[in-house]
Amino acid sequence: MKIIAINGSPRKNWNTATLLQKALDGADSQNAETEMFHLYELKYRGCVSCFGCKRKDGDHTCALQDDLTPVLEKLKNADAIIFGSPIYFMSVTSGMSSFLERFLYPYIKYDLECPSLFSKKMLTGFIYTMGSTEEWIEPFKANLNHFDRFLEMVFGEKTMSLYSYNTYQYSDYNKYESSMFNEKEKAKCRKEQFPLDCQSAFDLGATLTKNVK
């Protein structure tokens, strides 16, 4: 069984990547084979609207050829996928958004009765990390995860979501302008809440793997 994680943070070792790795550890605890791709290591663009994937005489794959091409190929054979993205300007990062355009659009068929060309049902998870507190982000929460409904449409299963709030952004707050944050609160959250989020990410990975049919 193969579980793949997609890291949409430019940082390979920070909040999002850490939680994704915990989710893969959870998958590994259920004997899955795991792999993580860091999108910001790859050179690729978002969809360029060539509609190659929509041609009647085509194979419904993305016509662009770049570093994303082999990743998209591998994802076809995944048993579950766990996406992770920091929240930038109340949405996923541009890297994640461009990736999702390229990944999801070829599977979307303009057919109300059968809108997905993906060959099977597949479980997905989405881990969101953000600097804001849960309370502060609440009014904007519906913006954050609008891709979830397209994942559900393409893969036929509800996405399991995990939100990690009030993340620690810098290794040393003294070096950066950040007076709007309470650094002590942030450090407390990093010490007390982030380990709980890591446990939730582990559980998400384990549950997703257990539920793969």
Ligand X SMILES: Cc1cc2nc3c(=O)[nH]c(=O)nc-3n(C[C@H](O)[C@H](O)[C@H](O)COP(=O)(O)O)c2cc1C
Nearer to ligand X, 4 or 17 (CB): 17
The two structure tokens encoding residue 57:
């005489």
Residue 201 in contact with residue 26, Cβ under 8 Å? yes
The two structure tokens encoding residue 45:
């663009």
Nearer to ligand X, 51 or 140 (CB): 140
CB of 213 to ligand X, least distance (A): 31
CB of 90 to ligand X, least distance (A): 5
CB of 11 to ligand X, least distance (A): 4
Nearer to ligand X, 100 or 122 (CB): 100
CB of 190 to ligand X, least distance (A): 11
CB of 192 to ligand X, least distance (A): 16
Give CA torsion, residues 16, 102, 64, 34, to 10 deg: 50
**Closest CA relative to residue 116, chosen from 127, 105, 107:** 107
Nearer to ligand X, 105 or 163 (CB): 163
SS3 123: strand
Mode of pairing for the β-strands spanning 91-92 and 80-88 = antiparallel
Nearer to ligand X, 88 or 105 (CB): 88
The two structure tokens encoding residue 3:
């579980």
Question: Which residues are at the interface with ligand X (CB under 6 A)?
Answer: 9, 11, 14-17, 86-90, 129-132, 137, 167, 169
Residue ranges of alpha helices (H) inside 42-182 are: 68-76, 94-104, 134-137, 141-144, 147-155
Question: Residue 137 to residues 15, 65, 140, 148: CA-CA distances in angstroms?
Answer: 18, 37, 5, 18
**Helices H / strands E in the chain, number of each:** 7, 6
Nearer to ligand X, 7 or 159 (CB): 7
**Closest CA relative to residue 36, chosen from 18, 48, 49:** 18
CB of 16 to ligand X, least distance (A): 3
